[in-house]
Amino acid sequence: MRQMLILSVLLAMLPSDTQSMESGSPLPVGRFSLKMPQLDQMRLANDGRHLLVASESHRVCRWDLLKRKKLSQVDLPNPLDARIALSPDGQSVIFAQINKPLRIFDATTSKERDRIPGAVKRIRTIEVSPDGTMVCTGGLSSVQIWNLRRRKVWSLPGIGKRVKQATFTQDGRYLLTQSSHALILWDLKQRKKHHTIFVAREVSTSIAISPLGKFVARNGKQAMLWKISKRKLMAERISGTILFPIRIRFLPDTQTWLIIQRGAVQLFDLLTDGPIGDELELGFDCQFAEVSRRGDRLICVDARGELGIFDLTMMQSGKVEDLQKQWERLASIDRVQAYRARWELLSRPKLAIQVIPPQLQVVPKARDKKIVMWIQELADDSYVKRETAQRRLLKQGPDLIPLVQKVLNEKLTLEVRRRLRKILTLLNRESQKQNRNHQLSRVMTVLLQMGTPEAKSFLRKLSRGATSSAITQRARAALEKWPRFQRLVRLARKE
């Protein structure tokens, strides 16, 4: 059980790549025309504001999505044996031509900036790493990795035949390539294969890898997802309800992936493989798609050059009523149902932190004095006072159980001990009906696994309550565990 908890913590608290990536306000939702048919590729810059688009004739345009204005337009050479790729900074275009060195052009002036020595082999796909330091060129039987900083090129061994697509992880360590019969995950740091996934020979236009390299996905007749572990490849999961998806993307939160059809988008949870929120209707046939590095905007373009910007936060958040149901399921006797409810809350932390606080009220410290007074009145000579004190203690509910158990360990008169045992029995009976003890334990685990500043602030607020409250005691215990959970996060980052 302890190993399962540690594994769940590592999966749920993996670092988010959304911090310090974009600046400024989010892009306004809406649609406008790029006036650029025959689009071949698009790339959203790291600043989340500028977009590079290229046509089949190697015409490259740079757009400001915030102002919806075209900043520049250049025409690059267009030989039949050449391919281009757009840089993540939105400033450069990588130009690859067979038997020639890799060239880098300025996206605004079309002037050649640099040449990387080497000879490009037969090329079918080209991809730039998210940090812009590496370029991958793949052809019929080889994949070349170009290091732009060191100005060197090297080839991956045993690549297979007909490399069609390639994509990097967010940190640039892993590379995923797709050939006609297999997906190969490469560890670029060690320059060797990490995993090989044999797939059916069918048309596939999109492959994706999660930011930390834990999941791999591809489209085809259906959307397929694989989980990668250190020692083996986990079984694939197929989203059978989504037929013929156009694009597949992972969001930066490491827990969500989205499947794009021609006219709709659906978010899925990586841990439960269940849909998140309702399907988002796009209103046009999507051909190319990019997700902002914050994960809050989806940019889609159709074949006519019509661009649409859509808000993903509403889909990720879902409905408050749904999470309130998950809160109730945390108290379920069925452990499987409670486990699923916990992951549903973790998959939407921003909304969950709004749902949980109303259910856990801070117990005022003034209650401690009243509790002490009522326990003392259990030994009073007056029968009426003893009965009144007992009723008042019972009204406090199961939250009082830890304190009653502690008091029973002390030296008491026979009358006080008898009444406290009766109170404890009745409170335990009520607690079993509500399953309150398990619910509190599970919700504290959820708050710990969230690992957000809001969750820690809420735990601190609960810990300032009355000492006699079980909520206060559990919140203090959770805060004591917080540094250990942070160490687990650091270990997850190293892995």
**Cα–Cα distance between 54 and 38 in angstroms, integer?**
9
pLDDT at site 7: 32
Helix or strand (DSSP H, E) at 93: strand 92-97
Closest CA relative to residue 268, chosen from 253, 258, 282, 280: 258
pLDDT at site 1: 35
Q: What is the mean pLDDT of residues 470-477?
A: 84
* pLDDT per residue as tens digits for the range 155-167: 887 666 678 889 9
**What string of DSSP letters covers 12-25?**
HTPPPTTTTS--SS
Q: 136: pLDDT confidence band, cut at 50, 70 and 90?
A: very high
Q: Tokens at residue 409, please?
A: 């360990």
pLDDT at site 147: 92
**Pairing mode, strands 215-218 and 207-209:** antiparallel
Helix or strand (DSSP H, E) at 74: strand 69-75
pLDDT at site 3: 37
Pick the range with the lowest mean pLDDT from 24-28, 30-34, 167-171.
Answer: 24-28
Cα 106 to Cα 113, 114, 148, 386, 394, distances in angstroms: 6, 9, 15, 87, 76
Contact 224, 218 (CB under 8 A): yes
Q: Does the CA dihedral 276-278-281-282 come out positive or negative?
A: negative
Q: Does the CA dihedral 113-116-120-124 come out positive or negative?
A: negative
**Cα–Cα distance between 274 and 343 in angstroms, integer?**
11
pLDDT above 90 as % of the chain: 6
**What string of DSSP letters covers 407-431?**
HHTS---HHHHHHHHHHHHHHHHHH
pLDDT at site 474: 85
Residue 366 has pLDDT above 70, yes or no: no
Contact 85, 128 (CB under 8 A): yes
Residue 240 has pLDDT above 70, yes or no: no
Q: What average pLDDT does the structure give for the chain?
A: 78
Q: Tokens at residue 448, please?
A: 């710990």
239 Cβ contact list (under 8 Å, min separation 6):
222, 223, 224, 225, 259, 268, 273
Helix, strand, coil share of the chain (percent; to 5): 30, 30, 40
**Cα–Cα distance between 263 and 246 in angstroms, integer?**
10
Q: 241: pLDDT confidence band, cut at 50, 70 and 90?
A: low
pLDDT at site 103: 92
Contact 356, 285 (CB under 8 A): no
Q: 102: pLDDT confidence band, cut at 50, 70 and 90?
A: very high
Contact 287, 301 (CB under 8 A): yes
Q: 456: pLDDT confidence band, cut at 50, 70 and 90?
A: confident
Residue 16 has pLDDT above 60, yes or no: no
